[in-house]
Chain A
Amino acid sequence: MSVREIITQLLAAFVGSLGFALVFGMRRRYLFCASLGALLGWGVYLGAEALLASSFLPPLLAAAFAVSYSEIMAKVLKTPATLFVIPAIIPLVPGGSLYYTMSYAVHRDMANARLYGTRTLETALAVAAGISFVLAVRELRARRQ
């Protein structure tokens, strides 16, 4: 991936996530912080993908980062963290692989359809695991206090 591609992708993640924050009816003053979470989260994904030979860990780490970011933002701005989690994990939603699963299925290329189908579920699972992991750690710390 070239630097130019990386920058395009990061900016596109920002714009796309901004769109979703608007669709979800987010208040104007949180928009920038929420979309920034998506940009940084995708940065973590790309970094992890470059360093680790795995398709499961990058979405997991990126989701874990996105939730941590949201928790911090929620503390600073005094709002529920969900507000920031949702826009931040939007780029991690496996829309591309879901589409190619369907597309290969239409063309009766079942080997590829299965490959992309598995990837779709794997990504969803990784993102969910990343979120749950951070929330579990937070709960443990809250209980100890």
Chain B
Amino acid sequence: MSMSIYEQHYLLDCMLEMGDLLLDCGAEVSRVEDTLNRMARAYGATRADVFVIPALISITLNFPETEPVTETRRITSNGSTDFYRLEKINALSRRCCAAPIPLPELRQTLDHVAAGRKPFRVVFWGSVLGGGGFAVFFGGSLWDGLAAAVFGAGICLLQNRLGRTQLNTVAFNLLISLLTGLAVGLVTGLIPALHMDKILIGDIMLMIPGLAMTNAIRNMLVGNTISGTMRLAECLIWAGALAGGFMVALAIVEAIGGRIGA
């Protein structure tokens, strides 16, 4: 199969789109590189140089008897883990590697996958279970779990609301942790039977980049040093923003509590 220059660029464009989508679903850098390399080979490239870091994808393809083609894409957002789309892209890449599908069809399928997001209802109930479950897991009572579940629902709604305003990660996390800290502090101040620390830990699990941090360290251990350090730095700043928000909230709650107690 020989490709015209136009087709080669069309393919490159589809591959960049695919890589972009994969990163947006939380796929790891090594996985994205692997998938794109396979795609290139499936479509008949004699050589493919794929370079992916969380902020950039660069692909150069060589086809027989033509000049190499290169395209680069700047990635601005790395979304949260989304198995819903991740699985679909995986299935698509497998299909293409088994037998390459026509490029317009590839493009269409990618657009289709990009448009379909995981249903909000599921994310909402997931946050409720996640916050509640982990409050109990880290030693809270059943009542703490219930309270954390309710706050988890609030956090989910807030994340959904603020996510649409395109705030940067630091401002976003600072605001969410501040509001959560204040709300939990207030409620546990009024109902002494509830444990503030357990409820907050359960809900923090919904917000902390613990998973991203583990992945960052893993990236470094397998040799993706640039991506690993980039992600780790990102996570530490993110965790710092969360900590900052909670610290202010705790300080405010304690100041108010001290005034009332005295």
Contact = CB atoms under 8 A, between A and B. Distances in A.
B239 interface: yes
Given A24-B83, A82-B31, A132-B222, A102 B247 contact: yes
A25 B204 contact: no
Interface string A74-118: 000001101100100111011110111111011000000000000
Contacts of A129: 221
Contacts of B151: none
Contacts of A13: 133, 137
Question: Does more than half of chain B's interface fall in helix, strand or loop, or is it mixed?
Answer: helix
Most chain A beta-carbon neighbours within 10 Å: one of B83, B123, B218, B250: B83
A52 interface: no
A16 B137 contact: yes
Given A16-B129, A102-B246, A127 B214 contact: yes
Nearest to A129: B221
Question: Does more than half of chain A's interface fall in helix, strand or loop, or is it mixed?
Answer: helix
Contacts of A14: 133
Given A22-B129, A25-B83, A95-B134, A124 B243 contact: no
Contact of A131 (B87, B122, B126, B218): B218
Contacts of A124: 210, 213-214, 217
B119 to A, nearest CB: 8
B84 interface: yes
Given A24-B81, A95-B201, A106 B129 contact: no
A15 B129 contact: yes
Contact of B83 (A83, A95, A127, A128): A83
Contacts of B126: 18-24
A132 B133 contact: no
A102 B196 CA distance: 14
B54 interface: no
Interface residues of A, number: 47
Contacts of A99: 197, 200-201, 204
A100 B134 CA distance: 15
Interface string A10-37: 0011111111111111110000000000
B157 to A, nearest CB: 13
A74 to B, nearest CB: 11
Interface of B: 26-28, 31, 80-87, 90, 118-119, 122-123, 125-134, 136-139, 145, 152, 197, 200-202, 204-206, 208, 210-211, 213-215, 217-218, 221-222, 239, 243, 246-247, 250-251
Closest 9 CB pairs of A and B: A22-B126, A16-B133, A19-B130, A19-B129, A25-B118, A93-B210, A25-B84, A15-B133, A23-B126
